[in-house]
Chain A
Amino acid sequence: MSLEIIGISVLWTFLFGYVIVASIDFGAGFFNAYSSFTGKKHILTKIIQRYLSPVWEITNVFLVFFFVGIVGFFPKTAFYYGTTLLVPVSIAIILLAIRGSYYAFETYGSKGHRGYAFMYGLSGLFLPASLSVVLTISEGGFITMVDGAPVLDYWALFTSPLTWSIVVLSVTAVLYISAVFLTWYANQAGDKHAANLLRKYALFWSLPTIITAGGIIYELRFHNEAHFEQLMNVGWMFGISFLLFIGTVWLIWKRRHYGIAFGLLVGQFAFAFYGYGISHYPYLLYPHLTIYDGFTNETMAISLIIAFLAGFLLLIPSLYLVLRLFLFDKDYVKGLSETKGGSQNE
């Protein structure tokens, strides 16, 4: 395996990690806001806050990791994507800033302000939309070179059906992933009401997710034929992904094994995500930039991979500790450890 492939695989894995944890986070913010406007706040808020509080900061790191990594392994992406993405990514930064800070402000400062909850929920839906634009651009056709510098054609981007399908998919997937996870989490906590409500959301969002996902494959045929053909070559991965989807929905429908259902969901998105990634090979930005001509020097690539492995030896035990303390700790999930007088959340 060449260094380029190792580099892009590491980064793609991190992006996948971000997609899953950020979806849970974005979706949770939305459900929290939605429930407070439909008078079901008392059912959901506790369970959502208990999950989000210890992890909101960690979620952000996954994203930073991805883009620091991609500029590190592929410095030329800074030139192409950096120049063209100023506006969409700046908007994403501002939304992230509003989310991150207001979450802390609300949790530790003044509790339960409706306006905050509303902003928090809404920004969580705009974020995947503004970030997913990058995926559309990478398909090619939106960037032209003027005097040796890349320029983004905003009009073409806004009028492309592909853009909007990807935006819709990112939003529905966020809500679906989040609802499935929270169903499991609420069930762990023994909170029947929350689990039942979230189960309904999960089932509701499953259908639009799978429909738009299929639609995008269809649209790619007209937008980027080369990519579409490669997509068909790894069609079996999407087949497996679909079967896993069926499995998740069936388990949730039958109210059984929510943990396994969430595992199948992660598998479903992993197959689709890696299938998409593999079919994109070797382009980082079609047709301007491939992973080979954008790659850093060999010395840097090797040091980055070493740093990555060393960092992971540090992170995996730490992340395991977080999971044990918060996700798999029955007392914490049920809210029992807080009753001993934890005053930080007042």
Chain B
Amino acid sequence: MLVHIKERWHVFFDDPVISSRMLTLLTLSFHIIYATIGVGVPLMIMIAQWVGIKKNDQHYILLARRWARGFVVTVAVGVVTGTAIALQLSLLWPNFMELAGNVIALPLFMEVFAFFFEAIFLGIYLYTWDRFEDQRKHLMLLIPVAIGAAMSAFFITTVNAFMNAPQGFEMVNGELVNVNPLAAMFNPATPTKIAHVISTAFMTSAFVLASIAAFRLVKGSNHDYHKKALFLTMKVGLVFSIATVIIGDFSGKYLAEYQPEKLAAAEWHFETEEHAPLILFGILNEEYETRYAIEIPSALSILAHGNPSREVIGLNEFPEEETPPLFIHYLFDLMVMIGMFMIGLSLFYWIGVKRNWSFIQTKPFRWLLVLGGPLSLLAIEAGWWMTEFGRQPWILRGIMTTSEAATTSDHVGIMFILFAGLYAILGIGTVVILTRMFRHHPVEKELAKQGGGAK
């Protein structure tokens, strides 16, 4: 056992391909948490500010400010880890960037502009807090922040979509010719990917903020402020989780059409057949037989083509060295289950508020709401792992494999350790600072300082 671990360790250190993949996985998995919050929270702040102005209710204005205050800390970590991944693209995948840079430099460049735009207005918003009497001016400053955040998600996701469905160029003797940057940006994977990324970011951020409000209520506060916060965030979360499911269905149809091997691996669908069943849960044994799974007849055909009798391409049609790893099935299940659960939870809560059910005010139910935020973040991670492992062995599907793209440098293993340490510090730091920040400034105190607050 020990020898085995030691061997693995050596392979990890000696093979830059493996260690580059692991370091990229580590950086992105960490960055995605902050990036998701970075895209979604500005919208939530904007909504709270807007509701506050419309209802003339100080609670919502304060909500916007308190969220913004915590947001700065997550933005800081998001910015530095984003800088890390932007540089690591060239450091760990130099051959990929040399080739693909000819086609995707435009969206990368524009992403930086969007980020720049957001950074400027976020700075202005945070430091002009008490300069303007008119709350609408603060709302005007928030609009470019939210737009910039969504636009940077838009541009960077087109790059990822391009890696899944490369187009916009021709390969002639290993050289790229007839490059069309816009065709590369708006490839077949782009619409579903962008819609899915943005709606899940909104959904997740809403549920994360709902978690905080629910947590305060669980901990004994009974202030109107937290109840308003919870209702607002759950409502927004419900809207975007429904949107996510609809877009998820379109993503399935995209995969069936353009990346059938990813869909087949995620569904353990080996034989090409009509009336293809959807497989839920289960485990796969060494003979590629599924055990303990729930099969829903024809459901995969419906997911893939919207028609129960249509044929779905199976994994056996692809050469073995071009198929993705089969564990992505678990990630797919995890993502879908959490998504469904969140719709059910938020719908139940919403109806409960409308009908005055006392159940939604019980502790156990509120604990479920607290769980919603972390669960949504887990679904984000699972979804990204599924889509990224699902295009292995390619870095550019059909054109360049991951091992052709990696660096030849010998030092990636040690860099992995350094970055792992860094992310541990940043992760712990974020949690410590955020809890301390809000513990030292409870809402009740802040409202009292404002002169009692409205209502």
Q: 8 Å CB contacts to B: which residues of A92-121?
A: 93-94, 96-98, 100-105, 108-110
A54 touches B124 (CB 8 A): yes
Q: In whole Å, how far is A191's beta carbon from the nearest beta carbon of chain B?
A: 19
B219 at the interface (CB under 8 A from A): no
Minimum CB–CB distance from A328 to chain B (whole Å) comes to: 14
Q: Contact: A57 with B109, CB < 8 Å?
A: no
- How far is B292's CA from A219's CA once the two chains are assembled, in angstroms? 73
* 8 Å CB contact of B119 from A61, A69, A89, A102: A61
In the complex, the answer to whether A90 meets B91 with C-beta atoms within 8 Å is: yes
In the bound complex, do residue A83 and residue B101 qualify as a contact, i.e. CB atoms below 8 Å apart? no
* A246 proximity list for chain B (CB < 8 A): none
Q: Is the CB of B73 within 8 A of A60?
A: no
Bound CA span A307–B104, Å: 13
Judge if A342 is at the interface, Cβ distance under 8 Å. Answer: yes
**What's the Cα separation between A189 and B375 when bound, in Å?**
49
Closest residue of chain B to A308 (Cβ to Cβ) is B109
Q: Do the beta carbons of B105 and A296 come within 8 Å of each other?
A: yes
List the A residue with the shortest CB-CB distance to B127. Answer: A54
Closest chain B residue to A105, Cβ basis: B433
Question: How many angstroms between the C-alpha atoms of A303 and B94 in the bound complex?
Answer: 23
> Is there contact, CB below 8 Å, between A60 and B433?
no
Residue of chain B at shortest CB distance from A301: B105
Contact mask A276-309 → B, CB, 8 Å, 1/0?
Answer: 0000000000000000000011011001100110
Residue among A72, A76, A100, A318 making CB contact with B108, cutoff 8 Å: A72
Does B75 touch A at the CB level, under 8 Å?
yes
- Considering the chains assembled together, what is the distance between the CA atoms of A102 and B97 in angstroms? 31
B87 close to chain A: CB less than 8 A: yes
* Contact yes or no, A72 B101, CB < 8 A: yes
Given contacts A58-B116, A65-B112, A75-B97, is CB(A108)–CB(B124) below 8 Å? no
A342 to B128, CA, bound (A): 9
Smallest beta-carbon distance B134→chain A, Å: 15
Q: Does B409 contact A (CB under 8 A)?
A: yes
User: At the interface, yes or no: A71 with Cβ under 8 Å from chain B?
Assistant: yes
Which chain A residues lie closer than 8 Å to B90 at the CB level?
67, 71, 77-78, 81-82
Q: B93: which A residues are within 8 A, CB to CB?
A: 82
Whole-angstrom CA separation of A100 from B126 in the bound complex:
17
**Structural contact, B181 and A300, CB atoms closer than 8 A:** yes
Chain A residues within an 8 Å CB radius of B129: 342-344
Are A89 and B87 CB-contacts (below 8 A) given A75-B99, A96-B80?
A: yes
B426 within 8 A of A: yes
Chain-A contact segment, one of B251-259, B296-304, B315-323, B410-418: B410-418
- The docked-state distance in angstroms from the alpha carbon of A61 to that of B22 is 26
- The smallest beta-carbon distance between B187 and chain A, in angstroms, is 16
A64 interfacial contact with B, CB 8 Å: yes
Q: Is the CB of A318 within 8 A of B120?
A: yes
B407 lies within 8 A of chain A by Cβ: yes
The verdict on A304 contacting B128 (CB below 8 Å), with A105-B433, A109-B73, A344-B69 known, is no
The one of A60, A65, A340 that contacts B130, using a Cβ cutoff of 8 Å: A340
Partner of A71, one of B82, B105, B407, B412: B105
CB within 8 Å for A108 and B123 given contacts A67-B90, A71-B97, A297-B179: no
A107 → chain B, closest Cβ, in Å? Answer: 8
User: CB-CB < 8 A to A54: which residues of B?
Assistant: 123-124, 126-127
* Cβ contacts under 8 Å, A69 to chain B: 109
Whether A39 is near chain B, meaning CB under 8 Å from some CB there, is no
- Bitwise, B419-453 to A at CB < 8 A (1) or not (0) is 10010011001001100110001000010010000
Complex CA gap A163/B75 in Å reads 35
Q: Is the CB of A109 within 8 A of B436?
A: yes
Separation in Å of the A203 CB from the closest CB of chain B?
31
B340 at the interface (CB under 8 A from A): no
Task: Enumerate B156-202 residues with CB–CB distance to A below 8 Å.
Answer: 176-177, 179-182
Known: A65-B116, A109-B437. A337 touches B109 (CB 8 A): no
Q: Is the CB of A76 within 8 A of B98?
A: yes
A55 beta carbon closer than 8 Å to chain B: yes
- Do A304 and B73 touch across chains, with their CB atoms under 8 A apart? no
B337 proximal to A (CB < 8 A): no
Q: How far is the CB of B98 from chain A (nearest CB, A)?
A: 4
Identify which of A109, A304, A321, A346 contacts B124 (C-beta below 8 A). Answer: A321
A87 an interface residue at 8 Å Cβ cutoff?
yes
In the complex, which residues of chain B have a beta carbon less than 8 angstroms from the beta carbon of A103?
76
B 71-86 binary contact with A (CB < 8 Å = 1; else 0): 0110111011111101
Looking at the assembled complex, report how far the CB atom of A104 sits from the nearest CB atom of chain B, in whole angstroms. 3
- Interface residue ranges of A110-159 to B (CB < 8 Å): 110, 149
Q: Give the complex CA separation of A318 and B114 in angstroms.
A: 12
Q: Which of B75, B95, B108 contacts A79 (CB 8 A)?
A: B95
Q: Given contacts A71-B97, A79-B95, A86-B412, is CB(A315)–CB(B433) below 8 Å?
A: no
In contact, B101 and A315 (Cβ under 8 angstroms): no
- Bound Cα distance A344, B111 (Å): 29
Say yes or no: A68 contacts B429, CB within 8 Å. Answer: no
Min CB–CB distance A89 → chain B (angstroms): 6
Chain A residues within 8 Å of B429, by CB = 101-102, 105
Query: Is B359 interfacial (CB 8 A cutoff)?
Result: no
Chain A residues positioned under 8 Å from B126 (CB to CB): 53-54, 344
Bound Cα distance from A239 to B166, whole angstroms = 51
What is the minimal beta-carbon distance from B168 to any residue of chain A, in angstroms?
10
Q: Which of B99, B106, B127 contacts A300 (CB 8 A)?
A: B106
CB pair A83 B408 closer than 8 Å: yes
Q: Give the contacting residue for A326; candidates B84, B97, B127; CB below 8 A.
A: B127
B311-330: CB near A (< 8 Å → 1, else 0) gives 00000000000000000000
- CB-CB under 8 A from B99, the residues of chain A are 75
Chain B hits for A65, CB < 8 A: 112, 116
- Min CB–CB distance B404 → chain A (angstroms): 12
Whole-angstrom CA separation of A344 from B103 in the bound complex: 44
B115 within 8 A of A: yes
| Contact (Cβ within 8 A) A108 B437 | yes
Query: With a CB–CB cut-off of 8 A, which chain A residues contact B83?
Result: 60, 63-64, 93, 96-97, 100
Q: Mark B9-49, 1 if CB is under 8 A from A, else 0.
A: 00000000000000000000000000000000000000000
List of 10 A-B pairs having minimum Cβ-Cβ separation, nearest first: A72-B105, A75-B101, A104-B76, A82-B94, A78-B97, A109-B433, A82-B90, A311-B113, A97-B80, A79-B98
9 contacts between A and B (CB under 8 A): A57-B79, A61-B112, A86-B411, A94-B419, A105-B76, A303-B182, A318-B117, A343-B446, A346-B441
Known: A61-B115, A75-B97, A83-B94. 15 other contacts (CB 8 A): A58-B123, A64-B83, A87-B409, A100-B79, A299-B181, A300-B179, A304-B109, A322-B120, A322-B124, A325-B124, A340-B130, A340-B131, A343-B449, A344-B126, A344-B129
